[in-house]
Amino acid sequence: MSRNMHKYEELTPYEFDREKERASIIYAAAGPVEYHEECNALGIDPCKGYQWCLDAAAITGGIVFPMIPFAPSGKLPCQNWDQLRKSFSKPHFSDYTEQPLLYPGVFTSAETCRALYLELLETFAVELQFKLCVFFGSHGPAGAMIKDIVDEFNGRPPAGDKKKLGFFHGMGVMAVGSLDYNFDVVKKYYEEHQIARGNHGGLWEASINYAINPEYFQPELLDESKYPQHYGALKDEHFEGCLRPVKSEFSKFSPKFAGDLYRITVQRLAEDVRKNYEELDSK
């Protein structure tokens, strides 16, 4: 089996140095394994960021760090170790009520994730001396945490320009998230097909799952008459206060939209990486 010469773990030390000379860019993507409705493979969060990084690296050059399947749950400041352990004793949500942990997802405490992300950034900047790091938080709370870490290091307020290139011990850092390069594409498709809102695990994420591997999206598993449902059967249509996708939303899935969404995301990401790297390399 041929190797991917952008995968960190598949390179020899000599090959690592040669690729780093060609493009001193390190990509890293973090996200948890998490429930995204019955129809989606559990690894969509770490997989989507990792695959986008691999495809962008094929365009820009650079090295992709192994997939990081660790991320916090909830909104910032996210759950700490004690809160996370206490939540394990709570019942999993049923039907359409909100619950921060979704079995069989695996989340990591806020303090552990923050320490891990910081240590990786320090290693990339100080030890390995990359010129640019593309740190992809392909899960909402992970992306927000990574952006806040970079903002704090650069003395920017939390409401600052999240797309502005940051610096960490002299290394440029792009802290990006899942919707940074495709939100307009998702919004347009939802408006054209009268999909009420972009829910967690809904059509846009299912489409990305399908684009990575068609077998990662299994809409037939939404049939509660044939398959057991973890959190109650999905409703047919959206309603006020709906926090989950609905069946009519998945019925509007299109392989073309999936392919376009994936391709546009990679192209825009690669363009942004290339622009930032060329500016750094010229200094």
Kindly state the helix (H) or strand (E) to which residue 137 belongs, with its residue range.
strand 132-137
What fold does the segment set 8-281 form as a domain? Answer: Rossmann fold (3.40.50)
Q: Which residues pair with 177 in a beta bridge?
A: 137
Question: Could you tell me the residue ranges of all domains in the chain?
Answer: 8-281
Average pLDDT, the chain: 91
Spatial strand order of the sheet with 25-30 comes to: 63-64, 25-30, 132-137, 171-177, 166-168
What local confidence, expressed as pLDDT, does residue 155 receive?
Answer: 82
Q: What is the pLDDT of residues 115-139, one digit of tens each?
A: 999 999 999 999 999 999 999 999 9
User: Distance between CA atoms of 34 and 12, rounded to whole angstroms?
Assistant: 33
User: Distance between CA atoms of 128 and 91, rounded to whole angstroms?
Assistant: 44
CA 34 from centre of chain: 12
CA-CA distances (angstroms) from residue 143 to 99, 108, 177, 256? 20, 14, 5, 27
**For residue 231, what are its two tokens?**
């959190």
Q: What is the pLDDT of residues 233-273, one digit of tens each?
A: 899 998 888 888 999 999 999 999 999 999 999 999 999 99
pLDDT tens sequence for the chain (283 residues): 789 999 999 999 999 999 999 999 999 999 999 999 999 999 999 999 999 999 999 999 999 999 999 999 877 788 888 887 777 766 555 544 455 567 888 999 999 999 999 999 999 999 999 999 999 999 989 999 999 999 998 887 665 555 678 999 999 999 999 999 999 999 999 999 999 888 889 999 999 999 999 999 999 999 999 999 988 889 999 888 888 899 999 999 999 999 999 999 999 999 999 999 999 988 7
Type of residue at 266: V
Kindly state the helix (H) or strand (E) to which residue 275 belongs, with its residue range.
helix 255-281
What local confidence, expressed as pLDDT, does residue 158 receive?
Answer: 60
